[in-house]
Amino acid sequence: EDQVTQSPEALRLQEGESSSLNCSYTVSGLRGLFWYRQDPGKGPEFLFTLYSAGEEKEKERLKATLTKKESFLHITAPKPEDSATYLCAVLVGGYQKVTFGTGTKLQVIP
Amino acid sequence: DADVTQTPRNRITKTGKRIMLECSQTKGHDRMYWYRQDPGLGLRLIYYSFDVKDINKGEISDGYSVSRQAQAKFSLSLESAIPNQTALYFCATSGGLAGVTDTQYFGPGTRLTVL
């Protein structure tokens, strides 16, 4: 069974304090890994898609990386507006269905 | 205007009532999905459709049905709502190009409460 595990469940940072969120996965035939940001009561907002081990993508203060077993979302010098839940999801080849992790709730304190 | 819209945004109903949630998209995508989100459980797939004539069950389809009225419209029905169907419901779309790993784009969600 495909599994996606995100850690930590919650993370509290001071403004400017860099950190990383982890997404580990156990799947057969990874086609793609996705990162989303979700604000309370709103739909997930797409951030990145990673396709192969070694790939990296950046957007403002966020950088996503991918290995054969996990992905990291690095947050550099976060600001309070980065507070949200960050979701990781994987697409497995042959099924075209996405399995989501339960997310990491990030709080950035001024 | 939003690319993926959902109506209604909030709905309170009673046990046993029939409810329909609607989703429309202007992204021109072939594939559409319905998910529900519960605290601590993450997003779970209810139904998905790769084109107008294709409907597939997801991992939690019991108690739900769907209709793909057009490429841009996908509705979710609860035939007889029960309290444990209280959740946030999201519609999503993806491009579905053959051979391409497609990203899903989500609507704003419908908060459904079943009393």
pLDDT computed for residue A27 by the predictor: 84
Q: A45-49, A71-75, A91-95, B62-66: which has the minimum mean pLDDT?
A: A91-95
Rounded alpha-carbon distances, angstroms, from residue B6 to A101, B47, B90, B102: 23, 16, 8, 21
A103:B108 CB<8 A: no
Cβ separation B90–A44 shorter than 8 A: yes
Beta bridge partners of B45: B35
pLDDT band at B92 (very low <50, low <70, confident <90, very high): very high
pLDDT at residue A77 in the model: 97
pLDDT attached to residue B2: 67
pLDDT at A19 over 60: yes
How many CB pairs below 8 A link A and B?
Answer: 49
Q: Do B109 and A46 touch (CB under 8 A)?
A: no
Q: Is A46 part of the contact surface with chain B (CB cutoff 8 Å)? A: yes
Of B2-16, B77-91, B96-110, the least confident? B96-110
Measured CA to CA, the distance from residue A88 to residue B3 in angstroms comes to 22
Q: What is the mean pLDDT of residues B36-46?
A: 90
DSSP B52-71: TTEEEE-TT-TTEEEEEEET
Nearest-angstrom CA–CA distance, B106 and B17 = 26
pLDDT at B60: 94
Residue B1: pLDDT over 70: no
Nearest in space to B104 (alpha carbons), one of A1, A35, A51: A35
CB A49 within 8 A of CB A32: yes
Asked whether B45 and B35 are in contact (CB, 8 A), the reply is yes
What is the identity of the amino acid at A15? E
